Amino acid sequence: MDKENKKELGLGKSAALPERAGIPEEYKWRLEDIYPTQEKWEEEFSALKARLPELAEFRGTLARSTARVKELFKLRDELSITLEKLFVYANMRSHEDTADSKRQGPANRISALSVEFAAASSYVTPELLSMPKERLEEFSKAPELSEYSFGLRELLRRREHVLSEAEEMIIARAGDMAGAAENAFSMLTNADMAFPAIKDEKGKRVEMSEERAVAYLRSRRRAVRKAAFESLYSPFCAMKNTLGATFDGMLKGAKFYAACRKYASPLAEALDADDIPLSVYDNLIDTIEKNLAPMYRYMELRRRALRVRELQMFDLYVPLVADPFKDIAWSDAKKMMFRFLAPLGEEYVAQTRRGLAEGWVDVFPNRGKRSGAYSWGSYATHPYIFMNYTNNLNDVMTLVHEMGHSMHSYYSHKSQPYATAGYCIFTAEVASTTNEVLFLSGLLAETKERRRRLYLLNRRLENIRTTVYRQTMFAAFEREAHERAAKGGDTTPEGLKELWYALNRKYYGGGVVINEQLKMEWARIPHFYTPFYVYQYSTGFSAATALARGILERGEPAAKKYLSFLTKGGSDHPIELLKGAGVDMSTPAPVEAVVREFEETLDEMEALI
C-alpha cells in the first residue's frame, strides 16, 4: 500500500482497522454496477418472486414441441440470471460489513427465494426424462435448441441415474438428514473445540484457534512450532470417537446416494457428474506414488536447511528462508501482475487493467469485513474480486489467483450463452493456477539475489508439495476409506488412524517422524465431507503447470489455445476442453510434467543452499 494511503486508511501495524466509510472509493468494488440502490434491488426481488408461478404453466406440456421446450428454457434462464444477480449483490454487500445486521436480511431472503425457485423448476428434469429416449434425442439435435444441446445430451448420458419424480423428491428431502454428519463436524470443529494456549516467540501466552495454530506452524522457533502442533491436534485426539462417528456418517451417506442412483461406488458417482473417467483419478495416484523419490529428497533438504537431527511433521510448513518480500504497495502489486501475465497477450492484460480501474476489486480490510478472498459475480455482471490486501507477496499472489478466476468468467460469459457459460471446479482451478504459475515463473526469471531466489524456489516446492503431493495423498485416503465402507472394512477411528499413518509414511519417507498426534489429521479435513473433491486441486495444478510451461516455451500459439479454452465455459466435458487447450488429463503426462518441475526446482535449491 502506498505510504499516503496507509496513513489515510489507518492501516499501520498498530492501528485499528478503519470503518467501511473511511475506505476511499477507488479501493472499493462498484456494486452500484449491479443495482444503483438497495431500493432497486428490492424492486427486482419483488418482481422475480411474483414471476415464479410462470414456471408451473409449462408443467406436463414439454413433450409437445421443441418450441415449447425452448420457451420454458428461455424463461428459466431469464429468471435464473436475475436470481443470481440478486444473490450476488446481497451477499457481497453483507461481506463488506458482517457486523451490520441490516445487510444480512437481504442475503437471507434471497437464499430462501433460491429454494423456492429450485422447487418451482424441479419438475423439468424428471419430465424431460419421462419422454421416450428417441424424443429427447430429437430435442438434443434440434437447431432451435442448439444452445441447450450439451445439457440435453448430458441428460441422456446420465439418464439411468436419474430417478422418477417421486423418488427424486424423496432423495431431495433426505438431504437435510444426509448433511447432519457434516453439520455436526462443522459445529464441533468451528464452535465447540478448545485449543490449549501456547507461548509465542517472546514467551507470551497466547490463546489458540485452529487458524492461529496453523499460522504458528510457520514460526522460526521450533519450540513454538511444536507447541502449536500439539495444541492443534490435542482436541482432535481427545474427540476421536465423536469425529469417527461424523466421518462414518459421511461414508454411509455417500454409499446410500451412490446405491440409490445406481452407481458402482461413490467415486463413480462423483466423477460422472463431469464425465471424468475413473482412470484419471487412478492415474493421478499411481503417477505420484511412482514419483515419491523427489519428495524424499526435499524432506532431506528441509532437514539439513533447518539444521535438525530428525525432521518432524511440525517442521514441514516453516519457510526455509525468511520472507524477503516486504511492504509491497497495492500499486506495485498491480504492476507486478501486469508484468508477469504478459505472456497471455496484450488483450488479456489490458482487460485486467480495465477491471481494476472499473471497480472489480474490493481491496483493503475494514472493520467487520469478512476474512479471506474470492472471485464472484454473475452472468449479468462483470466479475468481482474480494480481498483483504495487507502488503505481502501472499496477497499479491491471491490477487493473481482470483484474477485468473475472474478472467475465466469474463471470457466465458462474453462468449457463451447462459446455458453453457458456467464451468466446473475441474477447469476452474486451472485458470487461477495458470496465472499463479506464470506469475511465480516471471518473478523467478527476474530475481537474481540469492536469498530472494531461494525463498521463491522454496515457495514453488511448497506449492507442489501441498497442492499436488499432499492432495493426492488425500485422494488415496478417500479412495481406500470409501472402499472399506463398501466392503465392510475397518473404518473405525483406529483403522483410519493407521491408514493415515501408512500413507504419510509412504508419501514423506522414512526420514520424517510421523508424530502420534498426526494420525488424527484425517479428522480435521473438511473437504472429505464433499467426497472426491480434493483430487481436483492436484489435477488442476498439474494441468496449469503444463499449460503455463507451454505458454512460456511456445509463446503466442500456446497462449491463443489457452485463451480459447477460457471462452468455452462449460460447453463440453472438462477433459475435452483441456485437450483443446493443449493438455490431456486422461494421460499421466501432465502429472509427470509437474513432478519434473518439482525436481528441477529442487536441483537448483540444493545447489544454492
Q: Residue 133's domain is classified under what CATH number? A: 1.20.140.70
Over pLDDT 70: what percentage of the chain? 98
Looking at the fold, whether 522 and 467 belong to one and the same domain comes out as: yes
Task: Give the CATH number for residue 483.
Answer: 1.10.1370.20
> Between 149-157 and 133-141, two packed helices, what is the crossing angle to 10 degrees?
150
Predicted local confidence at residue 177, as pLDDT: 80
- The pLDDT assigned to 317 comes to 95
Q: Are 544 and 436 in contact (CB under 8 A)?
A: yes
How far apart (Å, rounded) are the C-alpha atoms in residues 176 and 192? 21
* CB-based contact 88:376 (threshold 8 Å): yes
Three-state DSSP state, 201: coil
DSSP 8-state code for residue 292: -
Other C-beta atoms lying within 10 Å of the C-beta of residue 67 = 11
Note whether residue 205 is domain-resident: no
Assign 361 to helix, strand or coil.
strand
Last residue of a domain, one of 134, 162, 190: 162
C-alpha cell at 246: 461424523
Number of domains in the chain: 3
Amino acid 1: pLDDT: 41
pLDDT score, position 166: 80
- The boundaries of the domain holding residue 60 are 34-162
CA–CA dist 126, 577 (Å, integer): 28
| pLDDT single digits (tens) 6-19 | 534 545 444 578 99
| Residue 39 is a catalytic residue | no
pLDDT, position 10: 41
Q: Are strands 384-386 and 374-376 parallel, antiparallel or unpaired?
A: antiparallel
Say whether both 304 and 337 belong to one domain: no
pLDDT < 70: residue spans in the chain: 1-15
Residue 337: closest CA among 352, 358, 354:
352
- What are the distances in angstroms from CA 606 to CA 133, 395, 509? 61, 28, 18
Q: Which of 115, 137, 162 is the last residue of a domain?
A: 162
Show the 3-state SS of 174-200. CHHHHCHHHHHHHHHHHHHCCEEEEEC
Query: Which residues share a beta bridge with 311?
Result: 512
Note whether 353 and 463 are same-domain residues: no
Note whether residue 558 is domain-resident. yes
Closest CA to 559 of 400, 347, 343: 343
The pLDDT tens digits of the residues spanning 168-215 come to: 778 877 777 878 899 899 889 988 999 999 999 999 999 999 989 999
Element (H, E) at 375: strand 374-376
Which residue intervals of 465-608 are DSSP H helices?
470-487, 493-508, 535-554, 556-566, 574-581, 589-608
Q: 149 with 49, same domain? A: yes
- Residue 330 grid coordinates: 497495492
Any idea which residue has 457463451 for its cell?
416
Instruction: Kindly name the residue from 402, 478, 521, 597 that is annotated as catalytic.
Output: 402
In the prediction, which pLDDT does 11 show? 52
Within this chain, do residues 38 and 25 fall inside the same structural domain, yes or no? no
Bridge partner list, 375 = 385
Task: Please indicate, yes or no, whether residues 314 and 337 belong to a single structural domain of this protein.
Answer: no
